[in-house]
Amino acid sequence: MIAFGFRNALRSTPRLALVAALIGAPFFLLLTLQAIGRAVDVYADRLLQGVNDTLQLRAAGSMGHVNMVAQSDILPQRVLERVRQLPHVAKVEPYVLAMTPTEGHNFAMIVGLEPGDARRLESHGEAGSPRIIAGRDLVDSDRGKRVAVIGQGVARWARIDPRDLAGAELTLDLRRTHPVIFALERPPARLSVVGVYASGYVFGDMQLFVPLDTFREIYGVAQGVSWLFVKADSAASVPLLAGRLRAEFGSEADVIAPVSAAEFQTTTARTVRRLTAAGMAASALLLVVVVYFLMLLLVRQRAREIGTLKAIGAPERSIIGAFLAEALAYALAGGALGSLLSLALGAPAAQKLFGPAMGPFVPAQYKDTLLQVLAISSGIDAERIAVAAASVALAALAGSAYAMLRIIRLTPLEAMKHE
């Protein structure tokens, strides 16, 4: 009779399709929200990665941008050499920074860094969060070359289409000024754009990364560093290392912990995560309710059939087994349909869903940009899908069993008249 139940589910294609669609739709919604949640988790993890164990050094009282009014002091080269020798230092990443005016009162940041080092955003200290959305990152062979990876905000300003980077160029005019930028009497620099990144927020997208050597050549900064990111050998060593850095360079450098700078974005990511979790809970509830009542309906609709089976002598356990097997078959069909839809359409659906669902709850500067930094994939997390599928199966069994138990205890005659 178990086989009879499974076969029964397969006999009417329109019914199977309808039930699978009714179960598959909330299942798909659940998986889509799961995909957003997973992407947010990855993003938040990446954001904090290399932040908790990192300290930043700047010239005392200066932002360290080589052409910024009253903020152009940079750290001498010997600081870099000395920091490298300190205990508990795992890695040192030097940045040299400048600014260039863009539209109106806006400006972009130019960052010179060693290819392979983490691309950090100027406004926040987080590491590795800007995601390449077109082209490629800087590589070793780019050293000394006039190449740049730019934020998508810079790309818009420079009218560069990220989908077509072949021959894309951008010119930096070092003589242009701004209320906070002074002119440098140096020739303009033409850069080939090899990659475009998305940061997750508007200001973070207004940055250019160029190889450190290239920066020095363009801006004529042969020595010294604007910022120094000092990575400790562990998060536990950070206080010790911070004390040592302050003791050694306290008079000429400010020692900053970027973890607090990253907090704003991680808080936003957490908000999105909570919204996603709430959405998942709601869709899981919807799924369970839909499946439960669907099975209730499917069984009650067939009370006459149950009565007939009882009349011709079917044992109760056989009838219950058959209907539960049928419920399970429907649940599996719905789950499979939802999973297939998720594999095929999960990522685009998540992108469509993200704006209307999350937009009202995140700060304005993240509203249109956070989605771009999330690597939402259509892949299915096996563990979570197993939990979702088990929930669907349990709801199906519960709904079916509840209706069955109400009908099965009737006499055959009562069951046949039940509908």
The binding site for other proteins (CB under 8 A) comprises 1, 4, 7-8, 11-12, 304-305, 308-316, 318, 409, 411-414, 416
Could you tell me the sign of the dihedral formed by the alpha carbons of 179, 182, 188, 194, in that order?
negative
* Closer Cβ to other proteins, 4 or 264, answer by number: 4
DSSP result, 258-327: THHHHHHHHHHHHHHHHHHHHHHHHHHHHHHHHHHHHHHHHHHTTHHHHHHHHHTT--HHHHHHHHHHHH
Instruction: Spell out where 6-106 has E strands.
Output: 54-59, 89-101
* Closer Cβ to other proteins, 141 or 411, answer by number: 411
| Cβ partners under 8 Å of residue 277, min gap 6 | 37
* Closer Cβ to other proteins, 25 or 303, answer by number: 303
Nearest distance from C-beta of residue 401 to other proteins, angstroms = 17
Nearest distance from C-beta of residue 326 to other proteins, angstroms = 10
Q: CA 415, CA 419: separation in Å to the nearest integer?
A: 8
Nearest distance from C-beta of residue 314 to other proteins, angstroms = 5
Burial bucket for residue 205 (CB in 10 Å: 0-12, 13-18, 19+): buried
Q: CA 355, CA 150: separation in Å to the nearest integer?
A: 24
Cα→Cα distances 283→233, 294, 333, 388, Å? 43, 16, 18, 11
- Tally of CB atoms within 10 A around 110: 28
Coarse DSSP helix, strand, coil percentages of the chain, rounded to the nearest 5 percent: 55, 15, 30
Q: Which 8-state DSSP code applies to residue 146?
A: S
Residue with tokens 């659940």: 30
Cα–Cα nearest to 33, from 366, 383, 351, 390? 351
Nearest distance from C-beta of residue 303 to other proteins, angstroms = 12
* Closer Cβ to other proteins, 145 or 304, answer by number: 304
Nearest distance from C-beta of residue 46 to other proteins, angstroms = 53
* Closer Cβ to other proteins, 247 or 312, answer by number: 312
Nearest distance from C-beta of residue 308 to other proteins, angstroms = 4
- Tally of CB atoms within 10 A around 179: 9
* Closer Cβ to other proteins, 253 or 309, answer by number: 309
Q: CA 337, CA 86: separation in Å to the nearest integer?
A: 58
* Closer Cβ to other proteins, 3 or 375, answer by number: 3
Nearest distance from C-beta of residue 395 to other proteins, angstroms = 23
* Closer Cβ to other proteins, 15 or 384, answer by number: 15
Nearest distance from C-beta of residue 4 to other proteins, angstroms = 8
* Closer Cβ to other proteins, 12 or 223, answer by number: 12
Nearest distance from C-beta of residue 359 to other proteins, angstroms = 48
